[in-house]
Amino acid sequence: MKAFLLLTTVFVAFAAKRFDGHQVLRIHPEHEGHLKKLVRLERFEQLVDFWKGPTCLSCPVDVRVPKNLLRKVKTLLEKTGMKYTVMVDDLQQSINMARSRHIRAVGFNFDDYNTYADIDSQLTDFATSYPSLASVFTIGTTYEGYYIRAIKVGSAGGNKPAVLLEGQLHARDWIVSATLMYNIKFLLEGYGNDSQITSLMDQVDFYFIPVTNVDGYVFTHTEDRMWKKTRSVRGLCFGVDANRNWDVHFGSSPSDDPCSDIYHGPVAFSEPETKAVRDLVMENSDNLKAYLSVHASGQTWMTPHGWTFNSAPDYEEQDDLAGRAVSAIYSVNGISFMHGTIANINGLVGGSSCDWAYTVAGIKYSYAIQLRDGFVLPADQIRPSADEFFAGLLVVAEQVAAEY
């Protein structure tokens, strides 16, 4: 068995897409002309990968550039007077370092990045170890036939208000599932041992979906670490940006090109993954009072709307709670998060789950959250990220408990 696993690991290492010499540049646009050039580069040069797109003059732009395009892109930036720094000098080296502990004994490790099979197994272990506090269930099946698992965490009692955490719509956001799995552990181990956690779990239920885009996540482990979309077949290309596929101002996203990383899909809810979460939300719409769509890289806690710069009717309450969550996060490790609307922070986008949860499902405290900067974080940042996010989650849960 060990020999088979070793051969499988070697095969994957040779089969997987590599990123030798790829750099991640942080660009600082200084006027509207700079922004327009970056927007054009994002839309028409598919070989570069925008980790943080061009949205405003005060917002840095992060872009992964393949080795063979580095000279071209850097020359463009220098000719136009755009300043930049190199965030990641060699992406493949960063990937190798982040996964250095991944070749280990089979089984789930909270302080490492895990396969989907190990995550699924750990969810079952949670329910087995804490039968009165946790239950695991399937919310749907992916395009490639994987089950999408959710876990409900809370003490006994019916008709309680609930918080739903939707994780990893984007496949490459490994820090998200790692963070959420730790947060489940914190809640279960804290019940009966921590007065705040015990009180909250007596009053509020938590629904976690650690990995929503299962097909994409599996693909990042075997083929392409930077894969973002789902894996449905779209002509000659694959996948849909699952955070542009929701039925709220659908189609107003930048790209209708199936080969683009930000392709919104042929129609809203074309993907079984987004349908599954939609159905879970609508089945529990009377109880869900907060919806947290958790992503990687950006250090933001964002409120609706993404499709317009106009504030939502509940913006003051939403932003006040976001501000308190961000303050709690800062108190853990001194990491600063921004808060504000999706449009003001990330630019205009349609079809997001956060906007849908607020506009269609009627969940007032609906947020899109981006964890620590970087899509390839070393495994030693998992626990700090989990601690930070948990502090913010407790703030949201306290508000839900007090208000509902």
Phi-psi region of 107 (alpha: psi -120 to 50; beta: other; left: phi over 0): left
- Distance, in Å, from the CA atom of 388 to the CA atom of 394, rounded to the nearest integer, reads 10
Mean pLDDT score of the chain: 92
Q: What is the value of pTM for the model shown? A: 0.93
224: which 2 tokens? 């392409």
User: pLDDT confidence of 101, banded at 50, 70, 90?
Assistant: low
**What is the average per-residue pLDDT within 59-72?**
93
Structure confidence at residue 4 (pLDDT): 36
Q: Reply yes or no on whether the pLDDT at 102 is more than 60.
A: no
379 vs 12 pLDDT, higher one: 379
Query: Which of 28-42, 109-123, 127-141, 355-369 comes out lowest in average pLDDT?
Result: 28-42
Give the pairing type, strands 205-209 and 147-153: antiparallel
- 325-344: per-residue pLDDT in tens? 999 999 999 999 999 999 99
DSSP designation for 263? B
Structure confidence at residue 104 (pLDDT): 54
Peptide bond into 305 cis (omega under 30): yes
Q: Reply yes or no on whether the pLDDT at 217 is more than 50.
A: yes
How many other C-beta atoms are found inside a 10 Å radius of the C-beta of residue 299? 17
Tokens 């250090």 sit at which residue?
Answer: 299
User: pLDDT confidence of 45, banded at 50, 70, 90?
Assistant: confident
- Distance, in Å, from the CA atom of 327 to the CA atom of 323, rounded to the nearest integer, reads 6
Domain boundaries, the chain: 21-89, 116-403
Sheet holding 288-295, edge to edge: 134-141, 147-153, 205-209, 162-167, 288-295, 365-370, 300-303, 338-341
Q: Reply yes or no on whether the pLDDT at 307 is more than 70.
A: yes
Assigned CATH for 116-403 = 3.40.630.10
- Distance, in Å, from the CA atom of 273 to the CA atom of 148, rounded to the nearest integer, reads 8
Candidates 3.40.50.10490, 3.40.50.2000, 3.30.70.340, 2.40.440.10; correct CATH number of 21-89?
A: 3.30.70.340
- Distance, in Å, from the CA atom of 87 to the CA atom of 62, rounded to the nearest integer, reads 8
- Distance, in Å, from the CA atom of 127 to the CA atom of 140, rounded to the nearest integer, reads 19
